[in-house]
Amino acid sequence: MRARRQYLFIDFEFTMPERNVRMKDFFAEIIEVGIVAVVDDQVTEQFSSYVTPLKFPKLSERCKSFLHISQQQVDKGLSIYELIKKLAEFKKDNVETTIVTWGNMDMKVLRHNCLMAGADFPFHGAELDLSMEYKRFFGDQNQTGLWKAVQEYGKEGTGRHHRALDDAMTTYNIFKLVEKDKRYLEKPKPTTIGDRIDFSKLLNELA
């Protein structure tokens, strides 16, 4: 029986400091999460929530205006501990799981947030940075932004950029496009000379 396979497409939005303001010991904290869970090519769950920062709960004006997230929204969000518990629930027995993100910041920030909260990292699976996969596949010199990548495919992103669930769904859509292209470019078996030349036709022409 074929092993079941789960892909978790994850996007986080983070806090950011005011421009040109040094905040002592500041670090980026997750304030919104979007997850699209796909098992054997079927979307099995979509999850979205705001998250309350643990160490620096007051959002900067820059953060609010850039992400269009209000202080009230994050104040009513999950705690980092509730978020970690939710993420751990995606682990399934006998299902191989791959975490897919666009860029490496999401998992870096999650690891650091877990460390600062004194909590265990919730994932034990392969991690795929789709932006690097895209870069390798298309030979792009620079790392492309998520929505630029989807536009290069002649598509539009899902929903609104910098909304975590919309970005997670857009990541999933690019993943499907890249996988389809990879299959298309896989080299077919070399043809034999007999496949390439119709000998009977050739003999008739030579006769």
B/e letters for 152-178, b = 16+ CB within 10 Å, e = fewer, are eeeeebbeeeebbbbbbbbbbbbbebb
Crossing angle of the two packed helices 105-117 and 80-88, in degrees rounded to 10: 120
* Domain residue ranges in the chain: 4-206
162 given a catalytic annotation: yes
Q: What is the pTM of this model?
A: 0.82
- Work out whether strand 4-14 and strand 30-39 pair parallel, antiparallel, or are unpaired: antiparallel
Question: Encoding tokens for residue 35?
Answer: 């997850």
153 Cβ contact partners less than 8 Å away, ≥ 6 residues apart: 174, 177
21-49 burial code (b ≥16 CB/10 A, e <16): eeeeeebbbbbbbbbbbbbeeeeeeebbb
Spell out the per-residue pLDDT of the chain, length 207, in tens. 566 899 999 999 999 999 887 778 899 999 999 999 999 989 999 999 999 999 999 999 999 999 999 999 999 999 999 999 999 999 988 889 999 999 999 999 999 999 999 999 999 889 999 988 877 777 665 556 676 776 666 655 555 556 899 999 989 988 998 888 777 666 555 555 555 555 555 556 555
Class of domain 4-206: alpha beta
Catalytic residue among 127, 133, 152, 162: 162
Q: How many Å apart are CA 21 and CA 144, to the nearest integer?
A: 28
68 catalytically annotated: no
Dist. CA 42–CA 77, nearest whole Å? 28
